[in-house]
Amino acid sequence: MELSQIKTCSVALLVIATTLPISLASYGQVGGSEHRYAYVDFSSGSLDENIGDNSNVTAIKVGGQLPMDQRWLATLDYSARFIHLENTTTEIYTLLPGIAARFDVGSGFEVVTGAKVGMQWARLTDDDTDIKLESSNEFVWGADVGLIYNITPRWRLATDAELNRSDILDVEIYSLRADYRFDSGFTVGGFYSHRDSDRGSTNEGGVALKLFF
């Protein structure tokens, strides 16, 4: 198993170990705030020039959101991305705590916008020798805005735009997702993301899990 795959599995196991007690505690109730949750997203995709080929981009993103009052939210996002080219693998890890504000705009619609600051770590490795070719870590900041449409108490659609800026990578992310909420207080959904950066573009799809508490 490759080093990057081991790291991905380790993060996934950590998320499961952390969220399972919450899941069991909330079983049988819709309960909890709509804006108090932990989440995990798994995705894969291709660089634009490789659309139709095997996936060469994989990622996991975990985090959560905690209301501070009726409007303001504390947020936390951590992502691990792996870009597999012909002979190398690029690993990018990003930690972004932040703050957001939500606005009810009527007819089931909400707008959520926020700002984040944190750190980003990157490493380029030769796949044949497992030798580290480059590595760096930098300050990163970001901002996002999203539109949420609550179709029913269980079905939700959302679209959002996000930008992240660092000396390692500048990227804009545009996403569309749909989620279904179960009685036990968690949602399962799917999403599509298009990412534009100074190093190229990717198209990715994935599965989203969200746990309310």
Question: Per the domain annotation, does 19 fall within a domain?
Answer: no
Question: Per the domain annotation, does 29 fall within a domain?
Answer: no
For residue 80, is pLDDT > 80? yes
Question: Per the domain annotation, does 44 fall within a domain?
Answer: yes
Residues in a beta bridge with 74: 66, 99
Question: Per the domain annotation, does 5 fall within a domain?
Answer: no
Beta strand 109-126 with 88-106 is: antiparallel
- pLDDT of the residue at 199: 76
Burial of 186 (0-12, 13-18, 19+ CB in 10 A): buried
For residue 91, is pLDDT > 60? yes
pLDDT tens digits for 17-76? 344 433 333 333 333 478 899 999 999 998 876 555 667 899 999 999 999 999 999 999
E strands along 6-131, which residues?
Answer: 37-47, 57-67, 72-84, 88-106, 109-126
For residue 180, is pLDDT > 90? yes
**Boundaries of domain holding 113:** 37-212
What average pLDDT score do residues 71-100 get?
95
- pLDDT of the residue at 52: 56
Burial 144-168 (b: 16+ CB within 10 A, else e): bebebebeeeeebebebebebbbeb
Question: Per the domain annotation, does 68 fall within a domain?
Answer: yes
pLDDT tens digits for 157-176? 999 999 999 998 899 999 99
Question: Per the domain annotation, does 27 fall within a domain?
Answer: no
| Helical residues (DSSP H) of the chain, grouped into ranges | 3-26
Question: Per the domain annotation, does 124 fall within a domain?
Answer: yes
Total domains in the fold of the chain: 1
Question: Per the domain annotation, does 188 fall within a domain?
Answer: yes
- pLDDT of the residue at 146: 97
What average pLDDT score do residues 96-111 get?
96
Distance (Å, rounded) from C-alpha 181 to C-alpha 155?
7
pLDDT tens digits for 104-161? 999 999 999 999 999 999 999 998 888 899 999 999 999 999 999 999 989 999 999 9
For residue 207, is pLDDT > 70? yes
For residue 7, is pLDDT > 80? no
Q: How many CB atoms lie within 10 A of CB 141?
A: 15
- pLDDT of the residue at 54: 60
For position 200, which CATH number holds?
Answer: 2.40.128.100
